[in-house]
Amino acid sequence: MDLLNTLVDKGLRRETPTRAEALAVLGTSDDDLLDVVAAAGKVRRHWFGRRVKLNYLVNLKSGLCPEDCSYCSQRLGSKADILKYTWLKPDQASQAAAAGLVGGAKRVCLVASGRGPTDRDVDRVSDTIRAIKEGNEGVEVCACLGLLSEGQAERLREAGADAYNHNLNTSEATYGDITTTHTYADRVDTVHKAHAAGLSACSGLIAGMGESDADLVDVVFALRELDPDSVPVNFLIPFEGTPLAKEWNLSPQRCLRILAMVRFVCPDVEVRIAGGREVHLRTMQPLALHLANSIFLGDYLTSEGQAGRADLEMIADAGFEVEGTDRVTLPEHRVGVGGCGTHEGGGCGSHEGGGCGSASSGAGVCGGAEASSDTGTGAGAEGASGPGTATEEAGPADGPRTDLVAVRRRGAGTDLAPNA
């Protein structure tokens, strides 16, 4: 296909695809799917080899959120039967993180439900960051605490945080259909605050909320403009008790096309498969490793994930390797140029030649923040596009797989061992 050859060439040059090209990827047929995966895989391997970065979530405070994000099991008014608990103590959070580190995780993502942290909350999280960093050389810590106030990103950076996650989730035009208690502009502002403080920005999206192809392309191009170092791609987990419980709009094939489109638009950025991969990709998960270079290990915020051992076996069986703390995640041109510090574990992103893609042709810059907590579905990326126009795929051929949605009952906030 001429389209795929063009996209590979652009990806290797860090040049931005056109909107029409990005839309065309989402519109390819199932007959062409393996060709799409192979093409995006060339771009992925060029920038990241066959390495897979493992990330581990620790839900510091679960449930009881005052925000009304429709996709989230922790939202205001949620009837989802999830774990609810207040802040973990620093030593409890550090112990929870240790399980993921032993399992091979390179980054720990500290997440807390809520609109945003108070200054006291920032102190608490700062103590947790220090506790995790002690004795864990090379580990990266990403905080995801909601909307940031002035000076809070700098304080997290001083405490040793490497990154901050705050997702855009969906297109600006449809954001108000998903959330009313804060705005799309609020999210963008927090990503800017993280960047300005020298934190590696992590920001992504949620697919499967009934959005149109145009919505998906809009949010990914907006992320490119923000220039994040990592882009988590969440697939909505339709929790019973949330407004989007009936939104089963994804098939494994569509998930792969979405990941391929993100890779073509942000070729040299860490693309992370986040919440919902087990529910929607199912047996096609190994193919997704040819598109994304990062996944979450084990469980998510409020939902159970695949067993940690199964994650590691899947990576090995697919011919990939777990990225160690001695390796820099991002390509050299994105590391240590933007005043972010060294961040040897993964690099803060240079954003020098246009970040995620934009070669000197002036095609534009990439953009973003990182995987967020308010998915409640678990993996660090928040809301998706609005109701929009339904895509050509109505969902899994065998109907909704509600049997694959399991509420997390182990790990942080419980007395049971975590899944790592």
Give the active site residues: 65, 69, 72, 109, 142, 202, 272
The residue assigned the tokens 């987990």 is 237
How many CA within 13 A on the CB side of residue 137? 2
SS3 143: strand
Q: How far apart are CA 417 and CA 420, in angstroms?
A: 9
What sign does the dihedral 53-143-85-272 (CA atoms) show? negative
Q: What share of the chain is helix, strand, coil (3-state, %, to 5)?
A: 35, 15, 50
> What does the angle CA 245 – CA 220 – CA 406 come to, to the nearest 5 degrees?
30
Q: How far apart are CA 343 and CA 295, in angstroms?
A: 19
- Gyration radius of the chain over CA positions: 19
**What single DSSP character describes residue 332?**
G
- Listed in order, strand segments (DSSP E) in 307-385 are 321-322
Q: Is 178:386 a contact under the CB 8 Å cutoff?
A: yes
